[in-house]
Amino acid sequence: MTVAITGNTYPVKDQIKALGGRWDADRKAWMVPDDRADEARKLVAGSPSKFSCDAGRRPTKCRMCGHVERRNARGYPIGDRILRSGECQSCYEERKMGY
């Protein structure tokens, strides 16, 4: 029996492999023997998340209205920016105004 381990596995992939894990590309999960699954989960839970750059993880689509952030060739936003909270500037301002 194997158990699928997902989450922030990239920083600890070598350790998971050492536990007998195999990468399942279809599931996008590590398949780990179930007697090692707890160890693997602990590795993933404690893995550093700084590996991917923070800017790449910023939301680019508003979760309120679906507006997608656009940037010009120089990287400046065109129109509404998407804020860290996952909403665009307009939705943020509407919420702040209490509409």
Footprint of Zn ion (CB under 5 A):
62, 64-65, 67, 88, 91
Which runs of E-coded beta strand occur in the chain?
2-5, 22-24, 29-33, 70-71, 77-78
Residue 46 or 79: the one with the smaller Cβ distance to Zn ion is 79
Closest distance to Zn ion from the beta carbon of 79 (Å):
11
Closest distance to Zn ion from the beta carbon of 65 (Å):
3
Residue 16 or 91: the one with the smaller Cβ distance to Zn ion is 91
Closest distance to Zn ion from the beta carbon of 88 (Å):
3
C-alpha 11/C-alpha 50 separation (Å) is 9
